[in-house]
Amino acid sequence: MSDQIRTYYAQQYASTIALLSQQKTSRLSGAVRIEPLKGKAASPVEQLGATAAKKRTTRYAPIQPSSQPADRPWVYPVDYDWDDMIDSADKLRLLIDPQSAYVQNGTAAMNRAKDDEIIAAFFADRQTGENGTNVTIFPTGATNVVPVATGGTGAVGLNVAKLRAGKKLLMAADIDLESEEIYCAITASQHDNLLGEIQVISADFNGGDRPVLKDGKVERFLGINFIHSERLLLNGSSQRRNPLWVKSGVCLGIWNEIETDVSQRKDLEGHPWQVYLQGTFGGSRLEEKKVIELPCAES
């Protein structure tokens, strides 16, 4: 229970409750595939691999069906909740009703949990196969990971060379970049790296047809859309694991969207008000070729 509520007791200048600095929305959910799902586990898509057309060399030969490689990715639900209580006596001492601010604070926490599920899914093991019994790991070789020293000497931060190398890997995997948007999640450190790259900030390199800077923020470069997040994971060398991906390569399954309940607890002394939020969702990578890792050193 929030004993810190006394901080907001009505004083001479107290008229509102402000949320401290925090990420309030899910920044990554708009850049992945969203699927409403049910059950203890669910497969959001049936996947068929590439096949080859056969050259016909004779007439009236028996038809030989092509064997199509198939796979089935699985997503598992994770339950989240958030709650706090406001004592009725405390509520009477406030100049305003804090319930709406508490709901906003809880919603922000739940939205960050969505991003955490997506971030974990980029590089985590995933369940595949007919019944989800196979384990598919994220490849750590040259097809999916750009070396941390790319574009520099030793471990370096994010640069144009790494972005080019990552996009090259997507193209080499035959990802349809004409119909797929590319996204890259970066922290403030990688954003600052990009501001130091002359090719990013100079119109001489960008043609001036589409600005990549908006109010000093890098939003797009090389056809890559940047999303700021300070929640990205680190590898064993304390380097940031920046994901580069296309939307169809990662899924956020939604079993239950965020639900909010504000109710009075008549079973507790003082009949406090309880703010409760819950939601069920889970993330999974859908295809290895569609997710690239750009490890970056941070100073």
Contact 115, 229 (CB under 8 A): yes
- What mean pLDDT do residues 248-262 have? 94
Cα 189 off chain centre by: 18
Contact 143, 173 (CB under 8 A): yes
Residues 196 and 5: their CA atoms lie apart, in Å, by: 44
Tokens of 214: 């908006």
pLDDT tens per residue across span 68-79? 666 788 899 999
Query: Could you tell me which of 180, 184, 137 has the C-alpha nearest to residue 292?
Result: 184
Per-residue pLDDT band at 17 (split at 50, 70, 90): low
- What mean pLDDT do residues 115-119 have? 97
Tokens of 200: 């990013």
> Amino acid identity, residue 123?
F
Q: So what's the pLDDT on residue 114?
A: 97
Q: So what's the pLDDT on residue 120?
A: 97
Per-residue pLDDT band at 13 (split at 50, 70, 90): very low
Bridge partners of residue 83, in order along the sequence? 276
Cα 211 off chain centre by: 25
